Amino acid sequence: MEDSVLVAICFLGFFSLIFGIFYIRNRERMAMIERGMDPRNYKPKPAPYQNLTWGLLLIGAGLGLFLAYVLDRTVFVQTERENEAIYFALIAVFGGLGLVLSYRIEKKEVLDKMPN
pLDDT score recorded for residue 82: 75
21-40 pLDDT, tens digit each: 999 999 999 999 999 988 88
pLDDT score recorded for residue 85: 87
Cβ neighbourhood burial of 98 (10 Å; 0-12, 13-18, 19+)? buried
Residues present in the chain in total: 116
Cβ neighbourhood burial of 102 (10 Å; 0-12, 13-18, 19+)? buried
45-62 pLDDT, tens digit each: 788 889 999 999 999 999
Cβ neighbourhood burial of 65 (10 Å; 0-12, 13-18, 19+)? middle
Domain with 93 in it: 50-113
Q: Are residues 31 and 62 in the same domain?
A: no
User: What SS3 state is found at 47?
Assistant: coil
Q: Are residues 33 and 55 in the same domain?
A: no
Q: Are residues 67 and 105 in the same domain?
A: yes
Entry pTM? 0.62
Q: Are residues 36 and 59 in the same domain?
A: no
> Which residue in 51, 69, 48 sits closest to 59, CA to CA?
51
- What's the domain count of the chain? 2
Q: Residue 89 pLDDT > 70, yes or no? A: yes
DSSP state of 80: -
Read off the pLDDT of each residue in 77-95 and give the average, rounded to a whole number.
86
Q: Are residues 106 and 62 in the same domain?
A: yes
Q: How confident is the model at residue 1 (pLDDT cuts 50, 70, 90)?
A: low
Q: How confident is the model at residue 72 (pLDDT cuts 50, 70, 90)?
A: confident
Cβ neighbourhood burial of 49 (10 Å; 0-12, 13-18, 19+)? middle
Q: Residue 78 pLDDT > 90, yes or no? A: no
